[in-house]
Structure 1
Amino acid sequence: MLADLMPPNQESLNCGAVHEEELSDFLALMTETFSMEPVATSQIFYRDPYFDLQNKRVLRIEGKIVSCLTLVERAAKREGMTFPVFGICGMSTHTKVRRNGYARRLLTDTLSLLRERNIPFVLLNPVSSDYYRRLGWEYVTSTQRLTTPPSTFPESPEVAGVRSLSRRDGYALSLIYDRLSRNETFLLTRDTKRWKFLLEFLRFGVIYAPKNGVPEGYLLYDLFEETIAGEQKSVLRVQEMLFETSRARRASLTFLSRQPVDLIQVEGTFERHIQNELFTLSANLTDAATLSETETLPTVMARIADFGKALAVSDLASLPLSKLEEKSVRCVMLDPLHPEGKQEVVISGEGIGKKDQLTGEISSACVLTADVSVWTRLLLGAISGEDCLAQGILLSSDEVTSAVAEELFPLKHPYISPIDYF
């Protein structure tokens, strides 16, 4: 019985990769935690294009799995640099032994593993944001959701160029995505495997390609029923909509206007003000109550694993060291899941590294200190250095160092598309 698997000491507890003979237990735990159908869980599990036993992590007590998670290996890009990140999904603990710190222990072990691999950031979509926030994760991205009846979108004859997606369209979609995402901050890249997976598992999608022309836009969507204000509504939710031309935008909106649903919800665009870019009043509106609503929803939480690597991929080559009169900056990150309770990295003329990796004299006068959640948001551009200093969540040793932090950490609005959530 699992109730008997809570030993008085930690000797019978260990963490590691799942063994092949344990996969049925791993699946059973996921199925229980998320109240999923066993067949559906198995399909998601085994059809993962990046399936790797080393990324299925478990905590065992006396050889029995009581907690598990899956690591998802991806790559992110910012300002021309591509670097590895990992997502965490499927975090599960047996109901009979919850609230004993087993999930925390498994997450701590996983972060240690990722630090050894020099992974800068770990991402997740939380079931309970409060729980993960206590362990150092914080929201770094959000998405805007436009909700409106189909009748609010105007009609255009260019809709004739819209057709259903096929698996052969993966390359065309990838080109559109890559071109339009070029200037986005912290977007996740999509390789051929990822596009193949998306086109197999996403339920609906259309592409705009004028006759004998090159595709200029696409939208991916789902259909479902939802209770809104006590009434059952049919909803079409756009999970990603990208267009390179105005005619692709018009054709896509016309397609949405013709759908036999009560409400259209649009997510997954790169536009910062989608109500202005997408919401064009049709000629037949008669009641102000039919206008749209726009929500901003928190989406992805992130956490630094390897502080030095996180600083290195944050493009700090432009650090205005001249303001520091060639001194170094000691960055201190308070980390509750690190064995020492903190990570320290020094930025100097020699580069970025731990104190014992640099040969020059290190000044202790120029210090920036914050906890892991603040440093995560700073390095991903989800909050500015100026705001952190003003709020007192980033501590600076002096005014000169504060000025450097303000210049070094601008607000950049990181974004991750809904179809890339973990």
Structure 2
Amino acid sequence: MRIRQLTAEEYDERIALSEFAFQFKLPPERLEEDRRHFRPEEHWGAFDENGKLLSALILLPLHIYVQGRVLPMGGLAGVATWPEHRRGGNVTKLLVRSLEEMRAQGQSVSMLHPFAFPFYRKYGWEFTVERKRYEIETSILPRPDTGGRIERVAKDAEEFKEIYARFASGYVGMLARSEEWWRRKVESKSGTAALWRDAGGNPQGYILYEVQNRLLSVHDWAYAGEEARAGLWSFIANHDSMADRVHVTVPPDDGLPFLLPNPRFKQELVPYFMSRIVDVEGLIAQYSFREGDKEEELVLQVADSYAPWNDGRFRIVFGADGQGRIAAKTTREEPGGYGAGDRTEPDAACDIRALTAMLLGNRRPEWLRQAGLLQGSEEAVALLGRRIPSAVPYLADFF
């Protein structure tokens, strides 16, 4: 078996596998559009000795917000295998190869939407992102007078991008959308767009939505602050003559139920995406830790069965300014056994999934220790707790 990137000539074979595996059929016009946008270098396949495609996945070069910084991220999608070649280790080899490729490209983190959470947990990905879904009657929505105004605009309004960036940077895992992403994934959605401005005329919120069969569906929205959020909800409420209900997806920390006179409406908290640390050393160097009174350090032992460069001991130095760095490491990639500089015993230990949950999933070190997923002294766990910021994971998009 050989693992390699696809060629442009293998588009039809790749689409046939995807259509079979995910049970869909592209109409002819969509098929040709996808062919024009096909990037074979993003598609990796497992081929037999005769060159037949057995399994494939897509490795997307994306960027996400993590603690306010934009980091390169490897987005995995479209993982598929012909049924006669399943359970033969093809996907395992593809995933291992994708980890090597992401590391080489400087993508220290990865994300994916799983068909089954237990399957990807075996390979080091962990559940990090959940979302709320609301189905709410327009009759119970408030109509506060925020002093701002709403205006209908084109779906490619430039103001949307700055508002989105301000909103997205407050969460862990939100995409830093490219121009192409805006064009193909957001502006192409059906419906209407509106922009909310504050009393000074500054754009602070937007919404893309449509109304059909007395249902208002929000496709995309963002707001920079509570006033803009309230203004958009007031705008939605004013559709009560044409819509009885609203469907919308919101971050897990959304506080609308508390702000309503009657919080009893349909709310669903949905497990959504998984994340994985691809390169521990690379992420530590890019991560925004909390500031401290002085420089501190901790030796952390990490277990990672599929990325040997992560499997070992790391002496992490937390600067007073919140900048982290690996001062010493010994991993399976290196000879000589475990150790970190002149330190021989770790202060704390966990596997790559627990570390991912800590840094990208807002699972607090204290809770992970109680759950048996993080081992270490109270002092070591307290150090991690005060240095790792609390930040809500969220992802509004899909890939």
User: Is TM > 0.5 for Structure 1 vs Structure 2?
Assistant: yes
Q: CA 1:167–1:405 in 2, change beyond 3 Å: closer, same or farther? A: closer
- Hey, what's the Cα distance between the residues in 2 that align with 1:106 and 1:149? 46
Residue 191 of structure 2 is aligned to residue 204 of structure 1: yes
User: Where does residue 265 of structure 1 map in the other structure?
Assistant: 247
Q: CA 1:361–1:132 in 2, change beyond 3 Å: closer, same or farther? A: closer
Instruction: Confirm or deny: 8 A CA contact 1:332 1:368 kept in the other structure.
Output: yes
User: Where does residue 4 of structure 1 map in the other structure?
Assistant: none
Kindly report which structure 2 residues correspond to 1:178-327, keeping only aligned pairs within 5 A, or say none: 178-209=165-196, 213-221=201-209, 235-244=215-224, 245=227, 248-260=231-243, 263-268=245-250, 272-277=254-259, 279=260, 291-316=264-289, 318=291
- Hey, what's the Cα distance between the residues in 1 that align with 2:357 and 2:291? 19
User: Where does residue 113 of structure 1 map in the other structure?
Assistant: 101
Q: 1:152 aligns with which of 133, 140, 143?
A: 140
Instruction: Confirm or deny: 8 A CA contact 1:188 1:416 kept in the other structure.
Output: yes
User: Where does residue 40 of structure 2 map in the other structure?
Assistant: 53
User: Where does residue 392 of structure 2 map in the other structure?
Assistant: 413
Instruction: Confirm or deny: 8 A CA contact 1:207 1:215 kept in the other structure.
Output: no
Shift of the alpha carbon at 1:29? 0.6
Paired residues, what number? Answer: 380
Q: 2:64 aligns with which of 61, 64, 76?
A: 76
Q: Please report the TM-score for the alignment, with normalisation by the length of structure 2.
A: 0.82
Q: CA 1:24–1:344 in 2, change beyond 3 Å: closer, same or farther? A: farther
- Hey, what's the Cα distance between the residues in 1 that align with 2:23 and 2:372? 42
Q: CA 1:157–1:312 in 2, change beyond 3 Å: closer, same or farther? A: closer
| Aligned-pair Cα RMSD in Å | 3.4
Shift of the alpha carbon at 1:30? 0.8
Residue 324 of structure 2 is aligned to residue 335 of structure 1: no
Indicate the percent of aligned positions where both proteins have the same amino acid: 21
- Hey, what's the Cα distance between the residues in 1 that align with 2:98 and 2:175? 21
| Structure 1 stretch displaced more, 346-355 or 83-92 | 346-355
Kindly report which structure 2 residues correspond to 1:166-185, keeping only aligned pairs within 5 A, or say none: 166-169=154-157, 171-185=158-172
Q: Please report the TM-score for the alignment, with normalisation by the length of structure 1.
A: 0.78
Q: CA 1:222–1:389 in 2, change beyond 3 Å: closer, same or farther? A: farther
5+ residue gaps, structure 1, are: 1-12, 226-233, 282-287
5+ residue gaps, structure 2, are: 319-323, 335-339
Residue 364 of structure 2 is aligned to residue 387 of structure 1: no
- Hey, what's the Cα distance between the residues in 2 that align with 1:343 and 1:118? 20
| Code of the aligned partner of 2:139 | S
